[in-house]
Amino acid sequence: MRTISQSFTQLAAAGLSLAFIATSAHAWTSIKAVKTATGGIVNDVQVVADGTGGTYTCWSDNRNANFDVFVQHLDAAGAVMPGWSATGNAVATQPGDQVLPRMALGLSGGVIVTWEDGRLSNNTDIYAARLTRTGVLEWTSQVCNTTGDQRAPLIVSDMAGGAVISWWNQPLQVFTAQRLNSAGGKVWLSIGVTPSTAGNQFHQDLVSDGAGGALIAINSGWLRVHQLSGSNGDPAWVPADGTLIVADNSPFPSLAADGLGGAYVAYSYTASAGNINIAASHVSSSGQLMSSMVLCAAPFHQVVPKVVCDGEGAIVAWNDYRRNLGSATDWYAARIKPDPINPPADVLDSCNWPTDGLIVMKDLTTDQEIVTNMVSDGHGGAVLAAQTSVTSDILARRIRREGLRDSSSLLASGAVVQSRPSIARVAAGKTVTVWREGSNAINAQELTFVQDPAGPSLTVSTGFRSVRLDWVGPGNDPVLGAVQSFEARYASAPITDANFSAAALMGSMVVSGPPGTPYCASVVTPVCGLYYFAVRSIYAVCSGPSLLRTLSANAKCSGTSAVVCEFAARSPTPIDDGPSIDTQARELELATPRPNPSAERATLSFSIPSTLQGKPYELAVFDLTGRRIQLVDKGVATAGRFSMDWNLRGDHGRRVSAGVYYVRLVVGVEMRKQSMMVLD
């Protein structure tokens, strides 16, 4: 694997900055108008993707004296869609103020909007409405009309055409939630459900759980995450009062769904020295606290964290006061990744990610860059939207999962004040940022990124209970470098970046030739039927991201011929010591590698009991930092005693350096480790 200094040297030789990679560009030739500059002060701007490359933008403005809620729909080219006004379509124009609108996608590409509504003079309530793609207002629903003010709603899709909405019940100082179906009807109790009554609650964040319900983070002096079941909103975890993240006041927590029913939560906490620092935790779909870690313990204060899932782990960014320059602050980021030695825990990513964070946006003078929100870029990274405090410019910057930063992209600048940007990812490698232009207009610009290369194009052939994949090696990537190796895996369910490592191994192979060299992998499946297949390219920079090509195929139930290739996954060799020796293991065992120390090759012997037969297993080698060096084998466990040889080479195909390494055997949820010394 190339060293980081070699990677940066190659970037410099290519005319690229050592600090930032120039890989972003405006996609639209001109800034697009979301709302033309007509009467009314604009507030509360938010943009979401419409699912087809376009965007919905919502806001409130007072063109009619009181503040009302409006929505605009732009297509993928930035043009106003048919059925929509140049100044937006009205959603709520009742007496009193309608403010703080938020959106989630509904059925057939429409959008559901919720807002804080003051049409009744005695208190504010929560309302919601649905608009079709063509701008037709289908329904309006009063979500909550409980006595006292109900404020600051958040909304996520319920994945069934409806939405889950949460808000602050000001008289009780608690958060309440309600689920609406696709017709605007209430699914849960008519007054909503209250996840927790503990303490005085002031800050929340909300994400979908992918199953009709939601996960909600609530700060009540202590920070907890709660799961609301889709069927009735009742707590689905034990204890019912949610998973305790930290026993400290943690304002403005940030949640990101992990794609597996759980979530990452980023938060601030008060350290022993009185500084406010940043930490993050990972909660599973069952409410288990899988990991918690400090991301930044730098001097002074770090606040307002924002987190997005990168498909494998998560990226967290925060506002940082470590230079102690008064109001002038910087923005830093860190990455969490799965722990290869102790799954399903997480660890901090140290490859290109410095201790206490990677600087993302730095206040060089007094013109502070204020990040308003952050989204996934769809390629394992994140994109931040920001405004400058003095010149009032609008910026965006991408952070790659490998700890590399694109140069800042200036989206808008000029004499008129630009402010309050909001950003949405509209497609892989594309984002749209909207912002307030002056006081009464809204503009937008699309940004594209040099996309990380996809995995190699696959072709498939099938035989009796067997499938063969063929592909050719892709060319080099200007940032990630050369492809070092490939992994091919299969499963009975669709394979994604998040679950790739859990799929059964077909083959792991080192690049053996220039771009265009053919490769293949084959497998004899347990039974005939439909399977899913994926190949991942592993690149030079920090082993590269999990870039996939996927397809599905049927292993045939008829015939006698199997399809095979020379790169099929290796099988462990059964150990047979003769009829006098019992070869059936009674417990999971991993023997000390032989010889130890080793200079040429090591034999890895292990035993799997019948109680673990059929469980997923993995045999791998790691260095002392926890980085996986070589995946020796992975598949479905068979009972017995086995051995495999390790040739002292890593996944990249080169011999490892001298030092201490760990061999790890995982079968189901059980794990065994042994250390060994490699000599020059």
On the question of pLDDT at 567 being above 50, the answer is no
Q: Do domains 459-555 and 573-678 have the same CATH topology?
A: yes
Query: 129-133, 208-212, 346-350: which has the highest mean pLDDT?
Result: 129-133
> How far is Cα 50 from Cα 108, in angstroms, rounded to an integer?
10
DSSP string, 158-171: -SSS-EEEEEEETT
pLDDT digits (tens, 9 = 90+) for 598-624: 988 899 999 999 888 888 888 889 888
Q: Is 465 left (phi over 0), alpha (psi -120 to 50) or beta?
A: left
Cα–chain center distance at 379 = 10
Q: Does domain 50-194 have CATH number 3.40.50.10860?
A: no
pLDDT value, residue 633:
81
Look at residue 187 and give its three-state secondary structure: coil
Q: Which CATH number fits domain 459-555: 3.40.50.300, 2.60.40.10, 3.40.50.150, 3.30.930.10?
A: 2.60.40.10
335: CB partners within 8 A, 6+ apart = 310, 313, 314, 315, 316, 348, 349, 353, 401, 403
pLDDT mean over 332-361 = 88
- Give the CATH class of 573-678: mainly beta
511 or 387, greater pLDDT: 387
> How far is Cα 4 from Cα 97, in angstroms, rounded to an integer?
55
> How far is Cα 328 from Cα 362, in angstroms, rounded to an integer?
9
Give the whole-number percent of the chain exceeding pLDDT 90. 49
Question: In the structure, what pLDDT confidence band is assigned to residue 285 with cuts at 50, 70 and 90?
Answer: very high
> How far is Cα 277 from Cα 318, in angstroms, rounded to an integer?
10
Question: In the structure, what pLDDT confidence band is assigned to residue 18 with cuts at 50, 70 and 90?
Answer: very low
Nearest Cα residue to 433 out of 481, 506, 513, 374:
374
Q: What's the mean pLDDT when you consider all of the chain?
A: 85
Q: Dihedral, CA atoms, 169, 171, 172, 174, nearest 10 degrees? A: 30
Question: In the structure, what pLDDT confidence band is assigned to residue 564 with cuts at 50, 70 and 90?
Answer: low
pLDDT value, residue 678:
92
Whole-prediction pTM: 0.76
Structure tokens belonging to residue 174:
């608690």
pLDDT value, residue 652:
60
On the question of pLDDT at 156 being above 90, the answer is yes
> How far is Cα 184 from Cα 180, in angstroms, rounded to an integer?
5
Q: What is Dmax (Cα atoms) for the chain?
A: 94
Q: Dihedral, CA atoms, 344, 346, 351, 353, nearest 10 degrees? A: 160
213 or 454, greater pLDDT: 213
Question: In the structure, what pLDDT confidence band is assigned to residue 77 with cuts at 50, 70 and 90?
Answer: very high
pLDDT digits (tens, 9 = 90+) for 19-70: 344 456 667 889 999 999 987 899 999 999 999 999 999 999 999 999 999 9
Please return the burial class of 180, using the count of CB atoms within 10 Å of its CB with bins 0-12, 13-18 and 19+.
buried
Confirm if 126 and 165 have CB atoms less than 8 A apart: yes
Q: Where do the domains of the chain lie? A: 23-42+366-448, 50-194, 459-555, 573-678
- Phi and psi at residue 11, to the nearest 5°: -65, -40
